Amino acid sequence: MTLRVALVGGPMYDHLYDVFAPGEVEVVVHADHPTLNRQVAALLAAGERIDVLATHAKYAPSQAALLRPLDEMFDANALVPLAPRAVELCRFDGALLCLPRLVDVRVLWVRADRVDKVPDSFAELVESDIVFGFPGRESGLFGTFFELVVGLGGSLFDDDLRPTVETPEAEHAVATLCALAARAPADLVDWHYDDVDTALLDGRVDAAAVWPGGYGAIRDAAVDLRPHAYPAGPARRVSYSGCHAWAIPRTCGDLDGAVAMLTRLIGAEAQALDAAGGNICAHRDALAGVVPQSEIDRRRLAITQETIDEAMISYPPLARFPEIEDAGWSAIRDALRGERTPAEATAAIQAAAVAVLG
């Protein structure tokens, strides 16, 4: 039976799909992650059959009612080669909702032909004349805001997962994004992840934070780009992170086929293919087998691993987090456009979070 699959799309992810043989799968959705989530939610709500779903550890809690728990479908030994932290991020309320494909953390890439002194902190970045690119919408924008808040010593939720967004740290984070956007191209407010990478390669910005999967294009470009540690906040250096993952929806029509497919996708061969495109695959042996192709590649891998070990942060598992994220990035984007002050933006995010979580 041909498996019906829903896939996250974009240059950072598409290289893996060569693993599918002709006629093996029917792709029902292939889109950036926010679009993927919306279309999959509509299809699953209508009872449409999807056998294998590309998801993300931060989105899986909101999809929990639509996904099959995987603990009883996969022998624990099958998970041993995978990074334990990645597997843990794929759990919600004790249930394994998905299996990790890759670990995403951002590092800073800088045009060496334009930037003499690379800023080590966001404060130095703001004070410089460096044009810094970042996503101006959706998850990428809210993730950058999240990094800034935590780097300043703040938080978006307390220990009881109650929203704590309306703070000086959050207001300062929005003000920082506004200052950086003010000297960036005007269309930054429309940029998604891939648009940031394109702007960096095209020379429209001097530096940008790039997820590991963006390395393939950087490697192949005739541009002098160098990797550096992500800028730090006054409290700590952090990089918003998470795991792209694979799940089996409850509308799956070929459970045995889906389990076999996921087993293959978390195996060394498929994960090595992902790593060859620059991604930090979850399979530890496959990742260990990556041979740096240059000194820049070696430094990229070292910085990325150090970031995972010391600076990786992720959102708390909240079933309704996507609603908070949507309200959050919309308010921040309004501030980037000059339609709200940073204080008004953080107040709007806090109000939306309280309304969502009750």
Number of domains in the chain: 2
Phi-psi region of 270 (alpha: psi -120 to 50; beta: other; left: phi over 0): alpha
pLDDT band per the 50, 70, 90 thresholds, residue 315: confident
- Answer yes or no: is 307 within a domain: no
Token pair belonging to 206: 């001097």
66 and 186 in a single domain? The answer is no
| Structure confidence by residue, pLDDT tens digits, 226-267 | 999 999 999 999 998 889 999 999 999 999 999 999 999 999
pLDDT of residue 277: 86
Q: What is the pLDDT of residue 230?
A: 93
- The confidence band for 76, taking pLDDT boundaries of 50, 70 and 90, is confident
With respect to residue 299, please indicate whether it lies within any of the assigned structural domains. Answer: no
DSSP letter at 237 equals: -
What contacts 170, CB < 8 A, 6 or more positions away? 145, 149, 154, 156, 346, 349
| Global pTM exceeds 0.75 | yes
Considering the chain, what percentage of its residues have pLDDT values greater than 90? 89
SS3 of 74, please? coil
**Is residue 320, in this structure, part of any structural domain at all?**
yes
CATH assignment of the domain containing 252: 3.40.190.10
Query: What's the confidence (pLDDT) of residue 1?
Result: 79
Of 232, 253, 288, the residue at which a domain comes to its end is 288
> What integer best gives the mean pLDDT of the chain?
94
Distance CA 137, CA 142 (A): 8
Nearest to 271 by CA among 99, 25, 67, 84: 99
Same domain, 207 and 123: yes
Q: Is 149 exposed, middle or buried (0-12, 13-18, 19+ CB in 10 A)?
A: buried
| 232 lies in the same domain as 183 | yes
* Cα angle, residue 39 at apex, residues 36 and 40 outer, rounded to 5°: 80
Shared domain for 72 and 192, answered yes or no, is no
3-state secondary structure of 240: strand
- Residue 84 falls inside a structural domain: yes
φ and ψ of 218, to 5 deg: -65, -45
Does pLDDT of 169 surpass 90? yes
Residue 225 — very low, low, confident or very high, per pLDDT cuts 50/70/90?
A: very high
For residues 47-66, give the mean pLDDT.
94
Q: Is the confidence at residue 12, as pLDDT, over 90?
A: no
Copy the structure tokens of residue 41: 């939610």
Residue span of the structural domain in which 264 resides: 3-104+242-288
Residues 203 and 145 in one domain: yes
Both 85 and 217 in one domain: the answer is no
- Identify whether the C-beta of residue 239 lies closer than 8 Å to the C-beta of residue 211: no
The pair of three-digit structure tokens given for residue 345, joined into one six-digit string: 């933006």
247 three-class SS: strand
Q: In this structure, are 226 and 275 located in the same domain?
A: no
| Whole-number pLDDT of residue 78 | 87
Per the domain annotation, does 139 fall within a domain? yes
Give yes or no for residue 124 having a pLDDT over 90.
yes
pLDDT at 193: 87
Residue 65 near residue 40 (C-beta atoms within 8 A): no
- 358 pLDDT exceeds 90? no
Is residue 326 domain-shared with residue 231, that is, in the same domain?
A: yes
Separation between Cα atoms, residue 340 and residue 218, nearest integer Å? 35
Rounded to an integer, the average pLDDT of 271-287 is 93
CB 51 within 8 A of CB 248: yes
81 and 17 within one domain: yes
**259 and 179, same structural domain?**
no
Answer whether residue 305 is part of any domain.
no
> Are 174 and 205 within one domain?
yes
What phi-psi label fits residue 198: left (phi over 0), alpha (psi between -120 and 50 degrees) or beta?
alpha
Do 97 and 44 lie in one domain? The reply is yes
Q: Residue 54: which of 27, 22, 80 has the closest Cα? A: 27
Token readout for 2 is: 């041909």
Per-residue pLDDT reduced to its tens digit, 196-218: 999 999 999 999 999 998 999 99
